[in-house]
Amino acid sequence: MKDKKRIVIALGGNALGNTLPEQMAAVKTTAKAIVDLIEEGCEVVVVHGNGPQVGMINNAMAALSRENPEQPNTPLSVCVAMSQAYIGYDLQNALREELYNRNIKNMPVSTMITQVRVDKDDSAFSNPSKPIGHFMTKEEADHAEKNYDYVMKEDSGRGYRRVVASPKPAEIIEIDAIRSLMESGQLVIACGGGGIPVTREGNHLRGASAVIDKDFASELLAEQLDADFLIILTAVEKVAINFGKPEEKWLDDLDCGTAKNYIDQGQFAPGSMLPKVQAAVTFAESKPGRTALITLLEKAKKGILGETGTRIHQ
């Protein structure tokens, strides 16, 4: 690659595993794919999901409050902050080790605990829909609603789960710090789990009971860092239409107009491929020359070189 490209990478859940031991193993593979891009001359900022991790933390904190009535329940925003720190700890160490393995010793790696402002009037708050945490019985769900102000919904006959709002990101609070670290040559991990959701009350930032989609947060971050590429890494090599059907078709190249038509047709599953394609289109439309790429983690380098993945552009 001749020209140095600035890239924001959004890591899917397959990059981190579902348990602490799985995560410690998964980040080693993830680090290799990211350092491949650095060796190609790219400036990289990393965003990761936190779906399983924030659920585990939320469950653990809820169990603590049940065991000790004097221990208040931990706000979801604090659980997101905890997930950012412990995922960042494993990920930055794996990245540093991989950099050293390739004799790249002049690139510090840092995790930025990142707050992301959401609009307190976002319609998502009136319709919580994102399930987190473990399944509960009806009795446990009633207790959670009464004592913790949780919103509980029955989930396909499997029990009850807490559902929370998933508002759109409006502002990355630490954007100037992230930009300064990146421009000083650091490999930065930021906006983990979509960011810690906060609302603004004057000069005060108040944690919100919500989770932010990491693909939308990654898109906003990529815009504000003036990135050339937004790479959304997921569990498939390319985007497909008619997925899982006999007429399934994998896509190499997708302009924004065509992508929007496919969105309107309901081609992409909500909570899965849909937010990825939506974020990709938003980024590609934000400035001429910007491109989004959706592909597998291990195919990231080939995707940047134009050899695989689905490219979304104007």
Is 257 catalytic? The answer is no
* pLDDT tens-digit readout, 247-296: 999 999 999 999 999 999 999 988 789 999 999 999 999 999 999 999 99
> Quick one: average pLDDT of 126-151?
85
Residue 136 in any domain: the answer is yes
Select from 60, 58, 51, 132 the least CA-distant residue to 87: 51
Lowest mean pLDDT among 48-57, 78-87, 109-118: 48-57
Indicate which CATH number applies to the domain containing 200.
Answer: 3.40.1160.10
Asked, for residue 142, whether it belongs to a domain, the answer is yes
Partners of 45 in beta bridges: 8, 188
d(CA 83, CA 113): 10
What is the pLDDT averaged over residues 161-188?
95
Asked if residue 1 belongs to a domain, the reply is no
Q: Rounded to whole angstroms, what are the CA distances from 133 to 24, 80, 86, 163? A: 21, 13, 18, 9
232-245 mean pLDDT: 93
When pLDDT is cut at 50, 70 and 90, the band that residue 162 belongs to is confident
Predicted confidence (pLDDT) per residue in 301-310, tens digit = 999 989 999 9
In a domain, 280, yes or no: yes
Q: Is 214 a catalytic residue?
A: yes
Rounded-to-integer distance, Cα 145 and Cα 176, Å:
39
130 among known catalytic residues: yes
Choose the weakest-confidence range: 109-123, 135-149, 202-216, 224-238. 135-149
What is the number of alpha carbons within 13 Å of residue 251 lying toward its C-beta? 21
Domain count, the chain: 1
Return the pLDDT at 3.
64
CA dihedral (130, 81, 223, 278) in degrees, to 10, reads: -10
What is the average pLDDT across 173-193? 97
Instruction: Find, among 128, 75, 96, the residue nearest to 32 by Cα.
Output: 96
Per the annotation, the verdict on 14 as an active-site residue is yes
pLDDT at residue 221 in the model: 98
What is the model's pLDDT at position 1? 43
Confirm whether 44 is domain-assigned.
yes
- Tokens 């104007």 correspond to what residue? 314
Distances (CA, A) of 219 to 39, 153, 276, 292: 23, 30, 9, 9
Q: What percent of the chain has pLDDT over 70?
A: 98
Residue 299 has pLDDT above 50, yes or no: yes
Catalytic residue among 32, 276, 299, 301: 276
Q: Are the CB atoms for 188 and 142 separated by under 8 Å?
A: no
- pTM here is 0.90
What pLDDT, on a 0 to 100 scale, did the predictor assign at position 2?
Answer: 43
Are the CB atoms for 118 and 199 separated by under 8 Å? Answer: yes
- Annotated catalytic residue 299: no
Per-residue pLDDT at 155: 79
235 pLDDT band, cuts 50/70/90, is confident
- Per residue in 82-111, pLDDT (tens digit) is 999 999 999 999 999 999 999 999 999 999
Domain that holds residue 169: 6-313
34 assigned to some structural domain: yes
Strands 229-234 and 291-296: parallel
**Domain membership flag for residue 48:** yes
**DSSP designation for 113:** -
Per mean pLDDT, which range of 98-107, 111-120, 124-133, 246-255 is the poorest?
A: 124-133
The pLDDT of residue 73 is 83
